[in-house]
Amino acid sequence: MGEKAPKAFVELGGCTMLARAVDGLRKSGAIDRVVVIVPPELVESVVADLGRAADVDVVGGGDERTDSVRAGLSAAGDADFVLVHDAARALTPPELIARVVDTLRAGSSAVIPVLPVTDTIKSVDVLGAVTGTPLRSELRAVQTPQGFSTDVLRSAYEAGDVAATDDAALVERLGVSVQTIPGDALAFKITTPFDLVLARALLSSETELSVDSQDGN
């Protein structure tokens, strides 16, 4: 993103993206405990960033994303449900997080927030030639947090060492139905300099609106 710090530690509205993501989970009112997975050498600095709290644990992850999720699942203990969330989606509204949990409690084993795709999507081969045009009406962009019955997600990870950027994809391989719910534009992933500018502008606008409201304007 053109910043000196690792992505999760980039400042956003006076605190790191990681701290803001954890705060959003807490504000949802639906989360009992947060497990933060970071490179082992950063555990102490993350504890210092987040502060020591009874509802937050910081554990070391692995070389691959799947290794880190496995570490988080191990730390989750006997939880009935688990959410997998990206710190880079630091502006995710607490209400969206609560809706994921509500859908799990209503009986779904796997829940993902999604948004309609607005661009036409092309599949291409290794040479860059177009091989197909999927129907846009059947496509959705997936966000986090993704929610699962803990037993289902553990089974998905025990099924094999298949690399994946999306936990729902592993669950799908088990034949488990994955339920979608409407996502939120604010849950976008902050991964580029443009994303960071947008996130900071949104927070600045939110702060200005709050000040205006307090002033009675």
SS3 55: coil
Confidence tier at 213 by pLDDT (50, 70, 90): very low
HSE on the CB side for 4, CA within 13 Å?
A: 0
HSE on the CB side for 130, CA within 13 Å?
A: 6
> H or E element: which one contains 116?
strand 110-116
- In this prediction, residue 52 carries a pLDDT of 85
- In this prediction, residue 145 carries a pLDDT of 98
Q: Is the pLDDT of residue 99 over 80?
A: yes
**Are the CB atoms for 180 and 99 separated by under 8 Å?**
no
- In this prediction, residue 64 carries a pLDDT of 87
Q: Is the pLDDT of residue 214 over 60?
A: no
Phi-psi region at 202: left, alpha or beta (left = phi > 0; alpha = psi -120 to 50): alpha
Percent of the chain at pLDDT exceeding 70: 93
Give CA angle at 100 (94, 103), nearest 5°. Answer: 140
> H or E element: which one contains 59?
strand 56-60
pLDDT in tens, 16-28: 999 999 999 999 9
Would you give the DSSP letter of residue 191? -
pLDDT in tens, 36-80: 999 999 999 899 889 888 899 999 999 888 889 999 999 999 999
Q: Is the pLDDT of residue 164 over 90?
A: no
- In this prediction, residue 191 carries a pLDDT of 93
What is the mean predicted confidence (pLDDT) over 112-133?
97
Query: Would you identify the CATH topology of the domain 7-215?
Result: Spore Coat Polysaccharide Biosynthesis Protein SpsA; Chain A (3.90.550)
What is the mean predicted confidence (pLDDT) over 81-96?
97
Helix ranges (DSSP H) in 106-192: 150-158, 167-172
HSE on the CB side for 159, CA within 13 Å?
A: 19
Domain ranges of the chain: 7-215
What does DSSP say about strands 179-182 and 123-124: parallel, antiparallel, or unpaired?
Answer: unpaired
The pair of structure tokens assigned to 152 is 């289902």
The full length of the chain comes to 217
pLDDT: is 154 or 5 the higher one? 154
What is the mean predicted confidence (pLDDT) over 158-172?
84
Question: Which amino acid, residue 157?
Answer: Y
Q: Is the pLDDT of residue 212 over 70?
A: no
